[in-house]
Amino acid sequence: MTSQQTEQVWKALDSFRIELPSWGFADTGTRFGKFHQPAAAATIEEKFSDAAEVNRVTGVCPTLALHVLWDFKGERSAAEVTELAARTGIRAGSINPNLFQDQIYKFGSLGNPDPKIRETASQHILESIAIATTVNSRDISLWFADGSNYPGTQNIRHRKAWFEDGLRSAHAALKNDQRLLVEYKPFEPAFYHTDIADWGMALELARAAGPQAKVLVDTGHHYSAQNIEQIVAWLLDSNMLGGFHFNDRRYADDDLTLGSIDPYQVFRIFHEIVLFEFETGKPADIAYMVDQSHNLKPKIEAMIQTVTTAQELFAKAAIVDHEKLAATQMTCALVDAETCLKDAFATDVRPVIEEWRIARGLPPQPMAAFRESGYQQRIEAERGSKGRGGGSSYA
Ligand code: PSV
Ligand code: MN
């Protein structure tokens, strides 16, 4: 690598922060069952502690995304979470309302035909915004399971209008520096129509909600052949990309480790972001979040693997030769243009990342540092392994 490329990688890594999900440290499963893991986090203290360990060895994960129902209700008040955050050195990240688990949401939340249920859903979002304010979180991240399973069973346009109402009232409650992130997903748990099925619908709804609403791209929430980097490029261009939920997939929303199936796609997404920043000269205001809950891989190791993979792919995107790329694009030198991307993707950036870590006082190899620390053995001895709950209800 040239010294200019090394500099580009260091600069990129200095700016790249990744938010971990609290639910990624708890026992979760599939709809067929749960395999319990030794010492999976069951309490919010344990989730903060595990996240702090990932941050200790990687140095780039200072915030933890929280799910309101799983992390606050009946367990901890927002004020207590603030204290916990201060103690562990991990700040509360995005706040995720839960609008899908309660029995009343069987036929939807903001899109439910029953106005009382829509009102309850709205109230929950407002409470979540209040929690975000108390714990000093910027983003309130909304995902809705709303939809229907059979043609003709719901009025799609009425539901759209109810969503607009609900999101507008949520937006009105935001503080000036807060954002609403609107996540889309084409299927699951609804299998005929999902109310916010794709990025176009999320974009329309975010615009209807107000200027502090942006779109959240979960990489697992697309049809198989979809060109996600094009969506990213369009959202960036419209100043409507608020954040990511990272994971990889082979078939559906598989929640696999980022880059495990298609690292080139993640690289291409990062390339669009880095290119946008290069051309506009300003940083893209994006929350990079992980949304994975591993039911087979050891959870903390899987998170460390995710973070280091994300750094590698981001670093590769940072060394694309933008001038050469622009010139080859303008002359339609197709092979040369494509090679520009491929050369960067094929470059081994790991030695430079190790140097960067050492310079930043971090362990050069986060996974090895974690394994040497004895943290996993310690929590297994302390917590035991009996599937103590604390995660989602996927089981
Ligand atoms: C839905 O599949 C989703 O991606 C949403 O972001 C939820 O908050 C999260 O998963 C829960 O695991
Ligand atoms: Mn998600």
- What residues flank ligand 1, with Cβ below 6 Å? 23, 96, 143, 183, 185, 218, 245, 253, 291, 293, 392
**Atom number of ligand 1 nearest to Cα 67:** 8
Residue 217 Cα, ligand 2 centroid: separation in angstroms?
A: 8
Give pLDDT, residue 28.
86
User: Sign of torsion, CA 266 269 275 280?
Assistant: negative
Of 244, 356, 264, the closest CA to residue 13 belongs to 356
What are 387's two structure tokens?
């599937």
Residue 112 one-letter amino acid? N
Give pLDDT, residue 388.
63
Q: Which tens digit of pLDDT belongs to each residue from 209-237?
A: 999 999 999 999 999 999 999 999 999 99
**Atom number of ligand 1 nearest to Cα 28:** 12
Residue 172 has pLDDT above 70, yes or no: yes
Residue 196 Cα, ligand 2 centroid: separation in angstroms?
A: 13
Q: Which tens digit of pLDDT belongs to each residue from 57-86?
A: 999 999 999 999 999 866 568 888 999 999
Residue 385 has pLDDT above 60, yes or no: no
Which residue's alpha carbon is nearest to atom 2 within ligand 1?
Answer: 253
| Section 36-65 average pLDDT | 96
| Section 37-43 average pLDDT | 92
Residue 395 has pLDDT above 50, yes or no: no
Give pLDDT, residue 392.
61
Give pLDDT, residue 390.
62
Q: How far apart are CA 178 and CA 213, in angstroms?
A: 9
Which of 93-97, 163-167, 266-270, 384-388 has the lowest average pLDDT?
384-388
| Section 339-363 average pLDDT | 98
**Atom number of ligand 1 nearest to Cα 392:** 12
Residues sharing a CB contact under 8 Å with residue 89, sequence separation 6 or more, in sequence order: 52, 55, 62
Q: Is there a contact between 210 and 177 (Cβ–Cβ < 8 Å)?
A: no
Cβ of 151: how many Cβ atoms within 10 Å? 8
Ligand 1 pocket test: pick from 143, 196, 392 the residue with the most ligand atoms within 8 Å of its Cβ: 143
Residues sharing a CB contact under 8 Å with residue 284, sequence separation 6 or more, in sequence order: 236, 241, 273, 276, 277
Residue 245 Cα, ligand 2 centroid: separation in angstroms?
A: 5
Ligand 1 pocket test: pick from 187, 218, 393 the residue with the most ligand atoms within 8 Å of its Cβ: 218
Which residue's alpha carbon is nearest to atom 8 within ligand 1?
Answer: 143
**Atom number of ligand 1 nearest to Cα 216:** 6
Residue 57 Cα, ligand 1 centroid: separation in angstroms?
A: 26
Helix, strand or coil for residue 35?
coil
Of 39, 50, 43, the closest CA to residue 384 belongs to 39
The band of 389, judged by pLDDT with boundaries at 50, 70 and 90, is low
Give pLDDT, residue 394.
47
Residue 333 Cα, ligand 2 centroid: separation in angstroms?
A: 38
Q: How far apart are CA 194 and CA 145, in angstroms?
A: 7
Q: How far apart are CA 58 and CA 373, in angstroms?
A: 13
Topology annotation, domain 15-320: TIM Barrel (3.20.20)
| Section 80-101 average pLDDT | 95
Q: What is the DSSP letter of 257?
A: P
Residue 93 Cα, ligand 2 centroid: separation in angstroms?
A: 14
**Atom number of ligand 1 nearest to Cα 253:** 2
| Section 167-172 average pLDDT | 98
Residue 168 Cα, ligand 1 centroid: separation in angstroms?
A: 22
Q: Which tens digit of pLDDT belongs to each residue from 133-162?
A: 999 999 999 999 999 999 999 999 999 999
